[in-house]
Amino acid sequence: NAGVTQTPKFRILKIGQSMTLQCTQDMNHNYMYWYRQDPGMGLKLIYYSVGAGITDKGEVPNGYNVSRSTTEDFPLRLELAAPSQTSVYFCASSYLLAGPKGELFFGEGSRLTVL
């Protein structure tokens, strides 16, 4: 198993540009999540999904969109990039909802800089 795979690993965007961060997992997990991690800070939940076709907002959803057309893929879309979106983005998945036996498996992160 490759686990959780994110692409790209690094990206520089200009203000106002759009892009999609890709995330795929091969563990047949129903639950997938997108977090952002700002320097010296913990992880904040952007969006999550409990299954194909079902998504919901996390703590910091503004400026982002997601879709979940398949179990494997959970792309994160930035429509109008802003400097405040400069961060490291982590995709994660779990077999159960985060909690006992709901261990999160994280990708290696995508470092995004908006100039």
Partner 1 sequence: GESVGLHLPTLSVQEGDNSIINCAYSNSASDYFIWYKQESGKGPQFIIDIRSNMDKRQGQRVTVLLNKTVKHLSLQIAATQPGDSAVYFCAEKQPNAGGTSYGKLTFGQGTILTVHP
Sign of CA dihedral 56, 114, 89, 68: positive
Q: Rounded to whole angstroms, how far apart are CA atoms 51 and 34?
A: 14
Give the nearer residue to partner 1 in terms of CB position, either 50 or 80. 50
Query: Which residues, numbered 28-47, are part of the site for partner 1 (CB under 8 A)?
Result: 35, 40-45
Judge whether 11 and 111 are in contact, CB under 8 Å. yes
Out of 48, 71, 93, 114, point to the residue binding partner 1 (CB under 8 A).
Answer: 48
What is the nearest approach in angstroms of partner 1 to the Cβ of residue 91? 8
Three-class SS state of 110? strand
The footprint of partner 1 (CB under 8 A) covers 4, 35, 40-45, 48, 50-51, 54, 56, 58-59, 90, 92, 97-100, 103-109
